[in-house]
Structure 1
Amino acid sequence: MEPESPPPATDPSLSESSPLVPPASVQASPAAAVMEDEPSEGRHSGRLKSVRQTIGKKVYQTIDFDAAVHLDREALAREIGKMVADISVEDGYRLTAAEQKEVADALVDDMVGLGPLEDLLEDETVTDIMVNGPSQVYVERNGKLVLTPITFRDEAHATAIAQRIAYNIGRRVDEASPMVDARLMDGSRVNIILPPLAIDGCSISIRKFAKRKITLDDMIRQDNISEKLGRLLQVAAACRLNIIVSGGTGSGKTTLLNALSRLIDPQERIVTIEDAAEIQLQQPHVVRLETRPPNVEGRGEITMRSLLKNSLRMRPDRIIVGEVRGEETLDMLQAMNTGHDGSMSTIHANTPRDALTRIENMVMSSSMQLPSKAIRAQISSAVDLIVQIERMRDGKRRVTNVSELIGMEGDIITLQELFRFQYEGEARDGQLMGRFVSSEVRPRFIEQAGYYGLEDAVLWAMT
């Protein structure tokens, strides 16, 4: 990696300070085309932005990209830092050590990280990042969407970042395959869609992986649920009820599912099945499975249904499906009915009754042509509880309804409401006011709770 001959005369100091300077005969890597020109806005502004633009161009023209790819991020940051410092002295820029580090970090982010998105990923107040083309980046903070000043240099820059995300988990996204579900190294879920499908430019949607594990106790403190409702959900998870968490996009279904899963006995064997791994289980005995899309030839796809069928041969005590959205729903119901009590999943629906309708429709989409009454009977015997969660207009997520399936009346599945959120007005700060109201009925699962010694807890929660 040491240079064989001095670098260009315009940068005499670099030959002594960095092993990343290529021989004079080596031209800059084509990868530089992705990173040169004007840098993204958001991290820098004013004088520092202008300086970073100039220094960045010189670094990209000088660096040996073939050598850089063999360095880990920390070593690369050190070498880029040296180059930035040398160029700053050579060209007469008066940068503090902190400013030099900021410029170097931004260049490293563009080279091996996610460029202008790195700061947003480190910001714990941001829960979602939405890139709508190179010049528009939104984030969600406290349940509200906010436009940021961050931009990419151009469409090629945004596309290069999107392709880096997909490449890091062994997937590809390009004109031939313009859509992909991926995840970042920290577990954050990513959806990417490129032009021509995305008309206004590359679209990147990132659902950030929560570094802090949310528990039901946390949700009680945040007023997502009440203390008694939280106790009821704790009992439901602990006494092996089959639970469906229902809600819209971004309503907090996976967060609630993670909180419920913390009540699972650590001695149980759990298999999780997801399109992009998001479930964060703390138990020691967990097998995580993830689907695989088809390759460019259209082969090699591993579907949710295939993984669910395979999981039944893995001796699970519980099966947790990140989200049911197709014909795998039938296999999920059959698993719940054949000894895998305590299984959980999420579904997109606006109400518990809508969730039942969606489940029925998805079962009907499978290859097995079952009559509606048979499907409903299977749903009724498989699912114990539907927990409805919603992101309300004040940005806060709340459990709005908990309903129990208690059987069939003719061809109709009977639901019994246990809890609901009762809206009572709006405070001056825009926060919605309300309370979680118990129906005060005796749940059907109270006998099962008694088997686990939790009958008194259920009675307390429902009063």
Structure 2
Amino acid sequence: MSERFKFFTSAPKPLPAEETPTNLPVPAEMAGELFGDPRKRRLLEEKVILHGKIIDEFNLAFLDQMSRDDLRRSISEFVFDYIKSKQILLNQSETEAFLEEIIDEMVGLGPLQSLLDDPTINDILINTENCVFVERQGLLQKTEVRFKDEAHLLRVINKIVSRVGRRVDESSPMVDARLLDGSRVNVAVKPIAVDGPLVSIRKFSKRPYSIDRLEGVGALKHPMSLLLQGAVRGRISMVISGGTGSGKTTMLNALSASIPPTERILTIEDAAELQLQQPHVARLECRPANAEGKGEIRQRELVKNALRMRPDRIIIGECRGEEAFDMLQAMNTGHEGSMTTIHANTPRDALRRLEQMVGMASVAMAQQSIRQQIASAIQVIVQLQRLSDGSRRVVSISEVTGMESDIIQLQEIYRFVREGIDANGAVVGSFRATGIRPLFLESLKYMGVDFPASAFDPNTPL
């Protein structure tokens, strides 16, 4: 056995009464529920205490410039000495894990880091410091991850939001932020979060989803992806619609890969999270108001400014307010092929929501004029849905064909038909063509994009 771990072989001396697990500052009746067992509870306490000691002992400015491996070497001896002095009984693997957790507190996000590093986790949902859920394959699971107390969780939250120049406190208790990898973060703290801080993290895949990968997981079929990719190349303006967690941003990222690399793209987001792969992408992000309530920059101002930046296409991460009016104006004045996402349950609902959002812009327009703007700007609506088994599907691809009287006309090209649920609870269904050929195929043909008639045959399996 190495010299480093010799001190773990002897039996530890009894801990002083004030250091015994049962006397740590957590109610005894809650110990099992909150931390599993007293040993885990003590390790969590010691980890937070040790993190504070490292902050006092080391030059943080120097540590911030070190790689993770160099940092590990620098503080490992300090950590091992602390474990020995406190008589914490750990084997070699547990000691190494304890050291990694300390490093996560220094350079990562503490208890969250292991969840962020787990590629099988899609969402992390923190309901106060004692309750952390994750989503795997569309299903929620409770984890054993805990924070020492509310102050510990708030410290991690402030580390997240401060990295993107935002803040969260009693005067500004809600914030949207992002992690360095683009993962989306929403935070709510007291007084609006009654029991304590609430954090929702929508993780981004380390390997961005391509349209081929979405085909591989069954989100859509090959003829559907060919049609959507052709529509993007052919500068067909598109809205991606769906509920929360249905995969709208993932689909937008995947489809944007079909934009030719010669075009200049401007992205506008509340919190930057799009992962476009083109060489010529300019990114704009909203700014919240400062402590005095000044300096806010909304999406609408960014859309207006984007029009002065010579974009070929404008991509709005999520359209949810008055910026819808300026987006439609852009699509109707030389920026065809622009895209956005919207929260709606059906393609028809997406059109209604757009109409309502244009009305939020305080523009004196008749209802029919608004609908005409929408019908001339938007050509394709891609509807996504998160099904009961957690899977995401493209449940409809619809084309906007114009106006008839005062109604916007829609025709569905492809749909997902649910047929039941199998013994494992998975949704059984099939993708089908409706038999309708989209009107925009004619314009795509002039751009060299052609589709066989069989791709729209309702009798031919996709």
The TM-score range, normalised by the shorter chain, is: 0.7 to 0.9
Query: CA contact under 8 A between 1:37 and 1:57: conserved in structure 2?
Result: no
Q: Using the alignment, how far apart are the partners of 1:63 and 1:367 within structure 2?
A: 52
Query: CA contact under 8 A between 2:44 and 2:147: conserved in structure 1?
Result: no
The answer to whether 1:413 aligns with 2:405 is: no
Supply the AA of the counterpart residue of 2:359.
Answer: M
CA deviations on 1:281-303 (whole Å, 9 max, x unpaired) are 11111001111011011111111
Relative to 1, partners in 2 of residues 1:65 and 1:71: Cα closer, same or farther, differing over 3 Å? same
Q: Which residue of 1 aligns with 2:17?
A: none
Query: Displacement of 1:152 after TM fit?
Result: 1.3
Bigger mean CA offset, 383-392 vs 431-440: 431-440
Q: Using the alignment, how far apart are the partners of 2:366 and 2:431 within structure 1?
A: 38
Q: Which residue of 2 aligns with 1:329?
A: 324
Query: CA contact under 8 A between 2:239 and 2:381: conserved in structure 1?
Result: yes
Q: Which residue of 2 aligns with 1:57?
A: 49
CA deviations on 1:245-282 (whole Å, 9 max, x unpaired) are 00001010000111110111111111110011111111
Q: Using the alignment, how far apart are the partners of 1:48 and 1:135 within structure 2?
A: 13
Q: Which residue of 2 aligns with 1:393?
A: 388
Tell me how large the CA RMSD over aligned residues is.
2.5
The answer to whether 1:286 aligns with 2:275 is: no
Identity %: 49
Relative to 1, partners in 2 of residues 1:45 and 1:330: Cα closer, same or farther, differing over 3 Å? same
Q: Using the alignment, how far apart are the partners of 2:254 and 2:343 within structure 1?
A: 18
Supply the AA of the counterpart residue of 1:384.
Answer: Q
CA deviations on 1:73-103 (whole Å, 9 max, x unpaired) are 6344333212112234455556455433321
The answer to whether 1:71 aligns with 2:63 is: yes
Relative to 1, partners in 2 of residues 1:212 and 1:46: Cα closer, same or farther, differing over 3 Å? farther
Query: CA contact under 8 A between 1:81 and 1:101: conserved in structure 2?
Result: no
The answer to whether 1:348 aligns with 2:343 is: yes
Runs of 4+ in 1 over 6 A off after TM superposition: 36-39, 41-46
CA deviations on 1:219-248 (whole Å, 9 max, x unpaired) are 111111112212211211121110000000
Q: Which residue of 2 aligns with 1:157?
A: 152
Bigger mean CA offset, 45-54 vs 145-154: 45-54
After TM superposition, list the pairs within 5 Å mapping 1:9-88 onto structure 2.
50=42, 53-54=45-46, 57=49, 60-61=52-53, 64=56, 67-72=59-64, 74=68, 75-88=70-83
Bigger mean CA offset, 380-389 vs 438-447: 438-447
Q: Using the alignment, how far apart are the partners of 1:264 and 1:305 within structure 2?
A: 24
Q: Using the alignment, how far apart are the partners of 2:353 and 2:54 within structure 1?
A: 58
CA deviations on 1:289-325 (whole Å, 9 max, x unpaired) are 1110110111111110111111111111111100111
Supply the AA of the counterpart residue of 1:435.
Answer: S
Query: CA contact under 8 A between 1:55 and 1:84: conserved in structure 2?
Result: no
Q: Using the alignment, how far apart are the partners of 2:359 and 2:143 within structure 1?
A: 44
Query: Displacement of 1:50 after TM fit?
Result: 4.0
Q: Using the alignment, how far apart are the partners of 2:74 and 2:80 within structure 1?
A: 10
Q: Using the alignment, how far apart are the partners of 1:125 and 1:43 within structure 2?
A: 23
Q: Using the alignment, how far apart are the partners of 1:152 and 1:52 within structure 2?
A: 8
Q: Which residue of 1 aligns with 2:102?
A: 107
Q: Which residue of 2 aligns with 1:257?
A: 252
Relative to 1, partners in 2 of residues 1:60 and 1:235: Cα closer, same or farther, differing over 3 Å? same
Relative to 1, partners in 2 of residues 1:246 and 1:67: Cα closer, same or farther, differing over 3 Å? same
Query: CA contact under 8 A between 2:331 and 2:377: conserved in structure 1?
Result: yes
Q: Which residue of 1 aligns with 2:456?
A: 462
Relative to 1, partners in 2 of residues 1:67 and 1:387: Cα closer, same or farther, differing over 3 Å? same
Structure 1 spans left out of the alignment, 5+ residues: 1-12, 14-35
Q: Which residue of 1 aligns with 2:369?
A: 374
CA deviations on 1:399-425 (whole Å, 9 max, x unpaired) are 111110001100000001101111111
Q: Which residue of 2 aligns with 1:236?
A: 231
Q: Quick one: which of 158, 168, 178 aligns to 2:173?
A: 178
Query: CA contact under 8 A between 1:37 and 1:53: conserved in structure 2?
Result: no
Relative to 1, partners in 2 of residues 1:112 and 1:412: Cα closer, same or farther, differing over 3 Å? same
**Count of residue pairs brought into register by the alignment:** 428
Query: CA contact under 8 A between 1:132 and 1:201: conserved in structure 2?
Result: yes
Q: Using the alignment, how far apart are the partners of 2:149 and 2:99 within structure 1?
A: 21
Relative to 1, partners in 2 of residues 1:439 and 1:178: Cα closer, same or farther, differing over 3 Å? same
Q: Using the alignment, how far apart are the partners of 1:448 and 1:95 within structure 2?
A: 69
Structure 2 spans left out of the alignment, 5+ residues: 5-23, 458-462
Q: Which residue of 1 aligns with 2:263?
A: 268
Query: CA contact under 8 A between 2:36 and 2:144: conserved in structure 1?
Result: no
